[in-house]
Amino acid sequence: MNNDIALEVKNLKMYYKTENGDVKAVDDISFKLKKGETLGLVGESGCGKTTTGFSILKMPSPPGEIVGGQILIDGKDIVPLTERELRKNIRWEKVSMVFQGAMNSLTPVFTIEKQLMETLQLHKPMSKSEAKKTMIKYLNYVGLSEDILKRYPHELSGGMKQRIAIASALFLEPSLVICDEPTTALDVVVQAQIINLLKDLKEKLNLSFIFITHDLATEAEVSDRIAVMYAGKIVEIGTNQQIYGEQGPAHPYTERLLAATPKLHENVKELAFIKGTPPNLLNPPKGCRFHPRCPYAFEKCKTEEPILKEIEAEHKVACWRCDADEN
């Protein structure tokens, strides 16, 4: 076992079982996350980012089902574990998640203390005084004071509620935290505060993060490596520099995503966009799933599915054009 690896996903498949067939929401993806590293997961809406996060927790939304692959946390595969084992030993103990829109999940009729107390005592036997000390400790970590506990959600700003959601994800001291769009619906100043907070927590607590977003500019700020998803597949994965550097990305989809991102330092009259829409994952296209929208597609792209292949150290891409360039 490699002690430097916090998470390893091998050939993971998570399908939604429907009357019309299997919706291949996550289809044979593999990646590793090092300890103390932040991996960014990017792509258009519906490409499988959030589903990947829920799958790592082994909490797919019904009728979702993990149909293949392994999820190794500290070298142990959690896929065969029962729901009871997952609740007792894995979720929030080893890996936790800040859910999309988590700041809106606080119950308006209860104080913050009552809600957090219930969460803590459900997961770990402790007295009220012990639980309160834990709450105060992690609220302080996220820049909130003890008096927040006596307040109701409607008395707090969006940024405060998001900080509480982050604090609750840290209560049981997991080594891996999945953040699903943690800055959505926040103004730009609060977004910057939350991003800086996550970076500080990573250093202070030696955390590993998976940061899910469709905002490539934000991802460039927080992530060490970037994994690009399209139609349930990882099509490119590399370091921040390999994706955002002067050489630019290798996959046409990543290239188009970056071209569609506004740049303050450039005079851009019109933003680029990707023609067409993502495919129906009930019946995805043969070959490369991006080929119907790709400006560089040739015949092989339409018939054979490319594999995720290393083109340089730490940089992998699933694209037949890269093979053609090598030849």
CATH for 291: 3.40.50.300
Domain assignment present for 191:
no
Residues 36 and 64 sit within 8 Å (Cβ to Cβ) = no
pLDDT at site 122 = 81
Domain assignment present for 30:
yes
**What's the pTM?**
0.92
Rounded to whole angstroms, how far apart are CA atoms 320 and 327?
A: 11
Domain assignment present for 260:
yes
- Domain containing 234 equals 5-91+207-326
Residues 8 and 38 sit within 8 Å (Cβ to Cβ) = no
pLDDT at site 261 = 78
pLDDT at site 249 = 93
Domains held by the chain: number: 1
Rounded to whole angstroms, how far apart are CA atoms 12 and 202?
A: 26
Domain assignment present for 236:
yes
Domain assignment present for 24:
yes
pLDDT at site 327 = 47
Long-range CB contact pairs, 223-228, < 8 A, 24+: 223/38, 223/39, 223/40, 224/37, 224/38, 224/39, 225/37, 225/38, 225/39, 225/40, 225/314, 226/39, 226/40, 226/42, 227/31, 227/39, 227/40, 227/41, 227/42, 228/42, 228/43, 228/253, 228/254, 228/257
**Residue ranges of the chain with per-residue pLDDT less than 70:** 1-2, 102-103, 263-266, 268, 324-327
Q: For helices 128-141 and 188-205, give the axis angle rounded to 10 degrees.
A: 120
Beta bridge partners of 13: 27, 68
